[in-house]
């Protein structure tokens, strides 16, 4: 793989750039595979042999080789997320800059396919994570991945960053993992080089400023912004950091990297805001940039208001609540709502926050969908099977690997068990639902998620 000469020229003189080593690692054919384990889904089970820890992220592990994740039922059960190890440094940034505060409201503004969002939901397990994606098709993937993660402290929205201006100072933490020119992924995906140009870098830098300026009014005073890209270009990294300090009035935050040799600390040219660069020839991961800021003052911006046209969340009637109590043994930590006929479970402490979000944004997923009431019948939702809400009241069938793969392929499927709805499990984790009838089993794995690979 030979890197484009104009691209290499943009990196001349950039702190930490070592041309020979950088080119060598791009031609080495070396690949790095890492996963982040879901702390709420049997975290102690051995998922893979021969792993080593990602030093900066509690649940991160490097794998020795890349297995077929598609053919691993644990992957579909949300036992882990496959993520670039450099990106997992977000965990460390949060640990050092935000600490272990409880009950925070967190926005992941550019969230699909969901790597940072699932990390955020684990980090802020007592908080609320709003995971937003502006592109509709990508929002669908985000719903799939966050559903598999199983957390009921997540809301997925499909909005333009400017729509968040209707929620002034709503969030305590905002993560902007901005769309960028993507040079950090050249080693992993050489086809990304085809679209790279200096014009693209300029366009991305402009778009990054627009996204940040649009969304920053939604960050609370005292709140934290984490800005990240997978580009090496200073125009998308340190220059944006300068702009955030000089134009948006943010205060830069340092992250101690003494325990993580190979990560390169840089300073933005004017403000000297610290930023952290990840070069694949110096750490085990792909190219990445991250910087943290606090918002200590409001910079005047013209706010636009936006009102969602979609149905807001409705309260359940008393009768429905009684029916739901039979299938969702709740306590006062869980509240339920109806959205377009679907019952949703959310953390009760965030009830009013979620209502506020629903009145302003396009909600694609709020908490966990539990199911629908059809007369006296309850039809369970797929998300419920993947959640870590208590599912003990349901009959269940424990599948072996082959059975689990047949189920996940939505193949003709037979299993023995109690008649009616059964939770299909693998390694103790829910995969989905099947309905056992007297002479056959109906497979309810979602058509659009089924495994196509033989
Ligand atoms: N945070 C994600 C993760 O860790 O899985 C990766 C995010 S990716 C780097 C950037 C995302 O920004 C993409 O999903 C892209 O669709 C979205 N995006 C593109 N244009 C955007 C815009 N104008 N405003 C907000 N987001 C945008």
Compute, in angstroms, the gap from residue 177 CA to the centroid of ligand 1. Answer: 7
Compute, in angstroms, the gap from residue 109 CA to the centroid of ligand 1. Answer: 8
Residue with tokens 């990304």: 192
- Does the pLDDT of residue 311 top 60, yes or no? no
pLDDT (0 to 100) of residue 301: 65
pLDDT for 287-303, tens place per residue? 999 999 999 998 866 66
- Tell whether ligand 1 has an atom less than 6 A from the beta carbon of residue 226: no
* 331 vs 60: which has the higher pLDDT: 60
Mutate to test the pocket of ligand 1, among 179, 182, 216, 286 (most ligand atoms within 8 A of CB): 179
**Nearest in space to 365 (alpha carbons), one of 346, 379, 390:** 346
Q: What average pLDDT does the segment 386-392 reach?
A: 92
How far apart, in Å, are the Cα atoms of 377 and each of 231, 313, 324, 420?
52, 22, 11, 11
pLDDT (0 to 100) of residue 46: 87
Cα 313 to chain centroid distance, Å, stands at: 23
pLDDT (0 to 100) of residue 162: 95
Cα dihedral across residues 429, 431, 433, 435: positive or negative: negative
- Tell whether ligand 1 has an atom less than 6 A from the beta carbon of residue 106: no
Shortest-distance atom of ligand 1 to CA 113 = 5
pLDDT (0 to 100) of residue 60: 97
- Tell whether ligand 1 has an atom less than 6 A from the beta carbon of residue 313: no
Do residues 73 and 426 make contact, with C-beta atoms less than 8 angstroms apart? yes
- Tell whether ligand 1 has an atom less than 6 A from the beta carbon of residue 185: no
Do residues 234 and 11 make contact, with C-beta atoms less than 8 angstroms apart? no
pLDDT for 106-157, tens place per residue? 999 999 999 999 999 999 999 999 999 999 999 999 999 999 999 999 999 9
Residues 6+ apart with CB under 8 A from 303: 165, 168, 217
Q: Whose CA is nearest to atom 26 of ligand 1?
A: 110
What whole-number distance in Å separates Cα of residue 143 and Cα of residue 432? 15
- Does the pLDDT of residue 11 top 80, yes or no? yes
With bands split at pLDDT 50, 70 and 90, how would you rate the model's confidence at 413? Answer: confident
What whole-number distance in Å separates Cα of residue 287 and Cα of residue 232? 7
Shortest-distance atom of ligand 1 to CA 112 = 14
- Tell whether ligand 1 has an atom less than 6 A from the beta carbon of residue 116: yes
- Tell whether ligand 1 has an atom less than 6 A from the beta carbon of residue 383: no
Q: What average pLDDT does the segment 426-440 reach?
A: 95
Q: How many degrees, rounded to 5, is the angle at CA 450 between CA 446 and CA 454?
A: 160
With bands split at pLDDT 50, 70 and 90, how would you rate the model's confidence at 330? Answer: confident
pLDDT for 152-204, tens place per residue? 999 999 999 999 999 999 999 999 999 999 999 999 999 999 999 999 999 99
Q: How confident is the prediction for the chain on average, in pLDDT?
A: 94
- Tell whether ligand 1 has an atom less than 6 A from the beta carbon of residue 119: no
Helix axes 238-246, 198-215, angle to 10 degrees: 30
Residues 6+ apart with CB under 8 A from 42: 79, 427, 428, 429
What whole-number distance in Å separates Cα of residue 71 and Cα of residue 404? 10
**Nearest in space to 174 (alpha carbons), one of 235, 59, 94, 239:** 94
- Tell whether ligand 1 has an atom less than 6 A from the beta carbon of residue 138: yes
pLDDT (0 to 100) of residue 43: 79
- Does the pLDDT of residue 74 top 90, yes or no? yes
Q: Name beta bridge partners: 344.
A: 337, 369
- Does the pLDDT of residue 312 top 80, yes or no? no
């Amino acid at each position: 793989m030979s890197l484009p000469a104009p691209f290499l020229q943009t990196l001349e003189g950039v702190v930490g750039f070592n041309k020979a080593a950088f080119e060598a690692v791009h031609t080495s054919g070396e690949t790095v595979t890492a996963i982040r384990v879901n702390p709420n889904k049997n975290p102690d089970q051995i998922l893979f042999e021969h792993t080593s820890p990602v030093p900066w992220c509690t649940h991160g592990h490097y794998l020795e080789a890349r297995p077929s994740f598609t053919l691993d039922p644990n992957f579909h059960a949300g036992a882990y997320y496959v993520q670039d190890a450099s990106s997992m440094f977000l965990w460390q940034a949060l640990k050092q800059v935000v600490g272990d505060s409880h009950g925070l409201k967190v926005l992941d503004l550019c969230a699909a396919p969901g790597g940072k969002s699932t990390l955020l939901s684990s980090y802020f397990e007592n908080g609320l994570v709003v995971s937003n994606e502006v592109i509709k098709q990508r929002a669908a993937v985000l719903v799939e991945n966050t559903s598999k993660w199983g957390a009921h402290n997540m809301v997925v929205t499909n909005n333009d960053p400017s729509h968040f201006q209707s929620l002034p100072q709503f969030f305590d933490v905002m993560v902007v993992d901005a769309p960028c020119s993507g040079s950090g992924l050249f080693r992993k995906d050489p086809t990304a080089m085809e679209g790279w140009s200096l014009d693209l870098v300029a366009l991305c830098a402009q778009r990054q400023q627009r996204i940040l300026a649009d969304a920053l009014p939604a960050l609370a005073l005292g709140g934290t912004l984490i800005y990240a890209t997978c580009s090496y270009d200073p125009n998308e990294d340190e220059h944006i950091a300068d702009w955030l300090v000089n134009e948006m009035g943010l205060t830069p935050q340092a992250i101690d990297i003494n325990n993580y040799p190979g990560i390169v600390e840089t300073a933005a040219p004017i403000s000297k805001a610290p930023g952290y660069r990840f070069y694949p020839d110096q750490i085990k991961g792909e190219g990445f940039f991250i910087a943290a800021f606090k918002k200590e003052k409001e910079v005047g911006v013209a706010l636009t208001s936006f009102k969602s046209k979609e149905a807001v969340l409705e309260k359940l009637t008393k009768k429905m609540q009684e029916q739901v109590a039979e299938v969702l043994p709740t306590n006062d930590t869980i509240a339920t709502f109806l959205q377009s006929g679907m019952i949703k479970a959310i953390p009760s402490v965030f009830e009013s926050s979620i209502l506020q979000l629903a009145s302003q944004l396009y909600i694609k997923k709020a908490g966990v969908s539990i199911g629908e009431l059809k007369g006296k019948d309850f039809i369970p939702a797929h998300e419920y099977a993947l959640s870590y809400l208590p599912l003990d009241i349901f009959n269940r069938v424990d599948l072996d690997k082959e059975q689990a793969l047949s189920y996940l392929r939505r193949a003709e499927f037979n299993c023995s068990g109690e008649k009616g709805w059964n939770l299909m499990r693998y390694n103790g984790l829910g995969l989905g639902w099947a309905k056992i009838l007297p002479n056959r089993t109906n497979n309810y794995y979602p058509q659009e998620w089924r495994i196509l690979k033989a």
